[in-house]
Structure 1
Amino acid sequence: MNFSIRNQAGRGSLKGYRLALLLGCTALVAIPLPLSAQEQTDSQDGESVGVTVLEPVVVSVDGYGASDESSIVSFGNTGGGKLATDFLDTAASVSVITSKEIQFRDAQTVEQVLDYTSGVTTDFYGSDDRFDYYKIRGFDAYSYRDGLPLGDPFGGIREEPYAFERVEVLKGADSTIFGVSDPGGTVNFVSKKPRSERFGEAYITGGSFDHAEVGFDFGDNITEDDTLSYRLTGKFQNADAEYDYSNDDESFIMGGLTWRIDDATEMTLIYDYLDLDGTPGSGGYPIGSDFSRSTFLGEPDYNYNDVTRNTVTWMFDHDFGSGLIFSSRTRYSSSETGFGYAYVYEPVSNGDTIADRYYFGNAQSYDDFVIDAHFEYDTSFANVDSRTLAGMQYETYSGTNVSYYDVAPGIDWTNPVRSGGPNYAGPYASTKNDQITTSAYVLEELTFSEKLIASVGLRNDWLNLEQLNQLSGTNTTGDYSEFTGRAGLTYKITDEVSTYASYAQSVAPPTLGIEPERGEQYEVGLKYAPLAFPALFSVSLYDLSKTNITVTNPATSLQESIGEARVRGIDLEAKAELPHNFSMTAAYSYMMSEIVENGTRGNVGNQLGFVPNNVASLWVDYTLEGEGRRGDMTFGLGAHYQSAYYFGEDNLVKSDPNITFDAAFSYDVAEHTTLQVNATNLFNEKYVAYGGYGADWYNPGRAVYVTLRQTW
């Protein structure tokens, strides 16, 4: 019996082999013997004895838990372009959201992409739409693209999910793998690349808040021998937000070119352009009130949020043979962003209908260049398989940040009279920041008798920082050298079950004059990948802490290092393509946070803000197969629950527990043509996502979108 096995997860996937074997056996049972076998006769009397010689069976696991476009289950992660690792072999908790899941849930934002992932909390600033807001295991999560740093999403750029094949969530401290980051975890976006085949799709979408959108994603070979391929992806959106005087427009275009120089060498060049023209938020609402989400208490002539970014990415891979591989990832990006808005700030009720307000504005620009290059060497000796990775990363960043602040006229919410934009006397802060980061790292993985996997990683980051205060002319510099390590041990109990324990450290980018924030985590877990159907089940327990926490002192407006926080928890997650046309994504997380030290601020023993104790989610799909002229129909329903969480570390004000529902339906109108309907917050559940300190901000309301998609 011959098997053709292709598994995108990387080196030697046992799961891909086991799945191919299972499917092959199933195929033998299902195929009638007269069509697939030849009878042999007894050599003595020439009579048939019913012994059969089977035809070769070729099985590909592509599309059966192996393809991001055809399954919600992925059996491995890319390792951020470094050591790709199978699910059962990884001594960490990793979640992968494939493009199929992103598309069927019609995730419009990164927050929606991450909504059904264990350990992740999202959208805790409600209708503040400036940035992507998410935390992993109670702490801010740094983001990466193809393994190269993007930075902290808070204050960054909202990413476009349509640009990515998949989104990988690595939970826990992982500075050894990715670089400077917070201890809760990281999010790695994997860019769409050209393929050596013809493919494509185009779609149109319309829906709530005058939403109109068109998009396309197609590619093909340029040369007949598959050496040169291209891909073009785009999305153009004209829409409003859910509140008055708002807009949510976007232009995104991405083009890629892959050159397969020979069987051992490949390089890819990707360019993308992102332009966002939106509104930063509704302006908030007076505390304790209950306004319609459409109410806008900002200023139509001033509330704006503009983003323009250009990015060029270059990827190069060469296999020298004998187990030695060289890989490099390089990216240059430049952006200009700016937002301004009038927002409500009224900590106490004045007994009137006038909402006090402030103006706030910000303008940023930056140029960033980063390159990562590494060698991987795979070898075996005796009963030991070895993978060694050694590399370096270099990044240079230069950017400016200017902020404005002023008192805005109050507004009567019973009879709003708009006052226009501010007349700033000048910025209250203006800085120019330059940073050079040089990193060296080494990772070693040893597999003993295909059962016990030991891994260790070491990394050192050298950071050279310089900041110019453009108002005072003061120039501040600092040099830092930060070492982090990681160690893990995995034992494969069976071909379906593994258990692991790990220890990992992290370090966050420092603020000049202050020690960097550091984190560490201890974790144990159990993973199960059944043979019977494509599915992944995992449970992990962790204890993580973060020290040298940096905050801004309100009395001096300067940053200071004040103490330590700790989070202990458990994550459970399941993703499965079930029998009888069902599929499921389920997640539950318990997090108990505690402020261990807090300088002179008190609050010791309190919980961290925006960290609910319980978060749970469930999404279930069912496909009713077509019959006659009726095509396939797929029904999806999801629920997301989170318990109450505090809005601040003083633990004085908190949210209400809440549960929201999402739904999806798709119908194959004709071959390659699909009609899809999606609804988020189906029952329009309303709660205060953030509030109590000047204004309330509600969670997003119900939105319904209809998409017609053509593929080829």
Structure 2
Amino acid sequence: MATRQAKTGYWQTVALLGVMGIAPPLLAQAATTDVDPDVELPATNISAARQDNPADEGHGVVAKQAQTATKSDTALIETPQSVSVVTKEQIARQGANSIPEALRYTASVIPELRGNSSAGAPYLISRGFYLEQFLDGARLPSDSSFGYAVPSFDPYGLERIEVLHGPASVLYGQANPGGVANLVSKKPTTEPLHEVFATTGSHGRVESGFDLGGRLADSDTLSYRLTGVGVDTDTQVDHARQKHLYIAPALTWQPNEDTSLTVMAKYQRDPDVGYYNFVPAVGSLISGSNGKIPTSHYLGDPGFDHHSKTQTSVGYEFEQHLDSVWTLRQNMHYTEVKDELSNVFTNGYASGSNKVLNRYAFFNDENAKFFSVDNQAQARFNTGELAHTALMGVDYQRVLYEEKVGLGGAPALDAFNPIYLPVTRPSTSSDDLIRQRQTGVYAQDQIAYGQWRVLGGVREDWVRSDDDNPVQGTYSEQSERAFSWRTGVVYLFDNGLAPYFSVAKSFDPQAATRYDGSAAKPTTAKQYELGIKYQPPGSDSFVTAAVFDLKEQNVLTSDPLHPGFSNQAGEVSARGIELEGHANLTHDLALIGSYTYLRNITTDSNDSTTTVDGTTTSLQGKHPWGIPSHVASTWLDYTVHEGTLNGLGFGAGVRYLGASYDQSNSLRVPSVTLADASVHYDTGQHWLLTVTAKNLLDRRYVSSCFNSNICTYGDRGEVLASASYRW
């Protein structure tokens, strides 16, 4: 890793890059091979196809196929549920350095609920609920279940991100109703691929990486991919750094046209994850008697705070074509996340002060291990005029989660003139060991009849779990089963319009015991979705418009008859409109746009919270905290492909985040409009030079508030310059 550099101010960086004449980050793409979007991906080309996955189709920001929604390469226009695809081209052109940043222009997704604290815990929200992260179809630890042990793999190692909006249990088992964000890894390629890059800019960022691939030792059966990234940077907050090292090898063995085995591994070590820079509403959202707290002030304790994370993932994907009808697949993945956090958090102002903050010390050591295996049998056949793609599967998941927690006092701190005093590490107050096993059996049929496409799927799950906490002297175990299903229909008009309708259900087990001693039942969710997709014949574009009604039931809420216990009378409703489009309008001009309207309400709850003025109010009828009703974004990229300016391109984006509320709905976080930009220049002779600017106008804003004591600042302006070399 390069030596640390001094921080560079935002506008100084802008001026420096302008003088250099370097143009904005477009992290380079690997060599591509066009794939006909109307042709089924054959097993004989599986390694090459992994280089240019059908979702990308060699068309930059426009994807027309995806695997996540059906576990097969199905055209998006034939899928009766809203699916968003962020291609590697989009990730590169926008200079995304994290999964939340890569999803900034995706409909319905709120990727940075925690603002500049998202590096430590990337809270992803879709349609008002948590958005589960999956890696190559395998479930990862999520914010909603596992504290801070949430993986954050470098997006440079991804081929694309596929987001299935809404319930996804019929194929993936237990999941939050917000949907699935599937991180699809870069896979081995049979074509030679060589790229190295270096990046620098705001906050003294030092970053470099490589992406290599091709046939292994000129073998006819073996191909490889090796991707790596190293990052060392300061942040907008004093004393807070981010570092990580990422390495991802992969190997594909294809001995014949019918057999393919791809083995993949990922390792990412983050010795410095970042910082949770929580601030009170007065001094951030609202000016107090001392003004506003600078976004650079560190309100924890530099001598006590530490956050590190180690992520390891290994797995394989095996596929065997038996004949023209049957295909067998087995996908196995193991992921382990070790997270160590020691942090001093703020807890509002001391009595009678708008300057001195109460604080507490906290540590949280976690280890989350996820193992999953998915066995699939796919059959393609006809019955009369009906063409079937039937999928049957049995999957198994095992989770082992360990968490040690300590909570104690910490010295108060002047928010406007921080002077740090020694902090004592608290003693362990909880030592949790959670084990969970899930077995699922599912079946799905995709039927084509003329211009009709019908999808139906069912699933049965058996879940067993136990929770042992010797420090607190508690032990519980539970066993549940759940049935989920999905159905939908699409009609394909000749002009490219495709109206659709679908119904989907999901479930999510709950780790709680009710007053009568029985285990809490899984929450269940049901979604109705009506939409239309548009893929004009002869054009390179794809547009989706959808309206949805999503309701989650059996939500845990306080038991009014038995204080200290919960019942399952809670209910949350989300209704909305979702628009998203990707288009290569001309050979030179690309467009990405999205708009979401969401009415998200807690329709039934016995829980209460405290308002800004100190009164108690019920959560029933309230908007969940931090989720705006209106979100919109658009991105334009223009690249010259002829003449003296050949290879020069410009990108510009605008993101609108609507107003949101705190948990009590008594505190309103105003809307904000942010601008992004990029310039990129491909010399045509190996070099690609890029510059990206995020929050170009350096807007200072609050991203969300949980209550009057806990708000988070959003990311300030950042400019990065990158140089990539390919051969």
Q: Which of 317, 320, 323 pairs up with 1:321?
A: 323
**Hey, what's the Cα distance between the residues in 1 that align with 2:591 and 2:681?**
19
- Native 8 Å contact 2:319 2:329 kept in 1: yes
**Hey, what's the Cα distance between the residues in 2 that align with 1:478 and 1:282?**
34
**Hey, what's the Cα distance between the residues in 2 that align with 1:392 and 1:101?**
34
More deviation, 152-161/452-461: 152-161
Q: How does 1:140-219 map to 2 (within 5 A)?
A: 140-154=130-144, 155=147, 156-219=150-213
Aligned to 2:435: 434
**Hey, what's the Cα distance between the residues in 1 that align with 2:501 and 2:395?**
28
Q: Deviations over 1:585-621 (max 9, x none)?
A: 0000111112211125433322222221111000000
Name the structure, 1 or 2, with higher relative contact order (CA <8 Å, separation 6+): 2
Deviation at 1:225, TM superposition (A): 5.1
**Hey, what's the Cα distance between the residues in 2 that align with 1:80 and 1:618?**
25
With over 3 angstroms needed to count, the CA separation of the structure-2 counterparts of 1:600 and 1:633, relative to structure 1, is closer
With over 3 angstroms needed to count, the CA separation of the structure-2 counterparts of 1:570 and 1:10, relative to structure 1, is farther
With over 3 angstroms needed to count, the CA separation of the structure-2 counterparts of 1:441 and 1:369, relative to structure 1, is same
Q: Does 2:692 align with 1:666? A: no
Aligned to 1:257: 251
- Native 8 Å contact 1:80 1:146 kept in 2: no
More deviation, 360-369/201-210: 360-369
Deviation at 1:461, TM superposition (A): 1.3
| 2:171 aligned counterpart, secondary structure | helix
**Hey, what's the Cα distance between the residues in 2 that align with 1:70 and 1:532?**
13
More deviation, 144-153/480-489: 144-153
**Hey, what's the Cα distance between the residues in 1 that align with 2:650 and 2:351?**
47
Structure 2 gap ranges (5+): 1-32, 43-48, 284-291, 513-518, 609-617
**2:362 partner amino acid:** F
User: What is the aligned length?
Assistant: 658
With over 3 angstroms needed to count, the CA separation of the structure-2 counterparts of 1:367 and 1:607, relative to structure 1, is closer
Aligned to 1:353: 355
Q: Which of 523, 539, 542 pairs up with 1:533?
A: 539
More deviation, 146-155/360-369: 146-155
Q: Which of 630, 648, 659 pairs up with 1:614?
A: 630
- Native 8 Å contact 1:65 1:73 kept in 2: no
With over 3 angstroms needed to count, the CA separation of the structure-2 counterparts of 1:496 and 1:173, relative to structure 1, is same
- Native 8 Å contact 1:81 1:147 kept in 2: no
What is the aligned-residue identity percentage?
26
With over 3 angstroms needed to count, the CA separation of the structure-2 counterparts of 1:130 and 1:639, relative to structure 1, is same
- Native 8 Å contact 2:314 2:333 kept in 1: yes
Deviation at 1:258, TM superposition (A): 0.4
- Native 8 Å contact 1:533 1:579 kept in 2: no
Deviation at 1:579, TM superposition (A): 1.4
Aligned to 1:549: 555
Aligned to 2:568: 561
Q: Which of 403, 418, 421 pairs up with 1:419?
A: 421
Aligned to 1:687: 701
More deviation, 554-563/339-348: 554-563
Q: Does 2:713 align with 1:698? A: yes
Q: Which of 619, 624, 639 pairs up with 1:603?
A: 619
Structure 1 gap ranges (5+): 14-59
Deviation at 1:626, TM superposition (A): 5.0
With over 3 angstroms needed to count, the CA separation of the structure-2 counterparts of 1:148 and 1:462, relative to structure 1, is same
With over 3 angstroms needed to count, the CA separation of the structure-2 counterparts of 1:442 and 1:593, relative to structure 1, is same
| 1:88 aligned counterpart, secondary structure | helix
**2:94 partner amino acid:** R
**Hey, what's the Cα distance between the residues in 1 that align with 2:358 and 2:433?**
32
Aligned to 2:601: 594
More deviation, 91-100/550-559: 550-559
With over 3 angstroms needed to count, the CA separation of the structure-2 counterparts of 1:572 and 1:283, relative to structure 1, is closer
Q: How does 1:222-621 map to 2 (within 5 A)?
A: 222-224=216-218, 226-281=220-275, 283-289=277-283, 290-346=292-348, 350-351=352-353, 353-424=355-426, 426-449=427-450, 451-494=451-494, 496-512=496-512, 513-550=519-556, 561-579=568-586, 581-599=588-606, 601=608, 602-621=618-637
Mark the structure with the bigger radius of gyration: 1
| 2:453 aligned counterpart, secondary structure | strand
With over 3 angstroms needed to count, the CA separation of the structure-2 counterparts of 1:311 and 1:551, relative to structure 1, is farther
With over 3 angstroms needed to count, the CA separation of the structure-2 counterparts of 1:402 and 1:556, relative to structure 1, is farther
- Native 8 Å contact 1:141 1:153 kept in 2: no
Aligned to 1:77: 66
With over 3 angstroms needed to count, the CA separation of the structure-2 counterparts of 1:214 and 1:9, relative to structure 1, is farther
Deviation at 1:223, TM superposition (A): 4.8
More deviation, 165-174/408-417: 408-417
More deviation, 269-278/603-612: 603-612
CA RMSD of aligned residues (A): 2.4
**1:530 partner amino acid:** P
Q: Deviations over 1:24-47 (max 9, x none)?
A: xxxxxxxxxxxxxxxxxxxxxxxx
**Hey, what's the Cα distance between the residues in 2 that align with 1:300 and 1:212?**
22
- Native 8 Å contact 2:490 2:501 kept in 1: yes
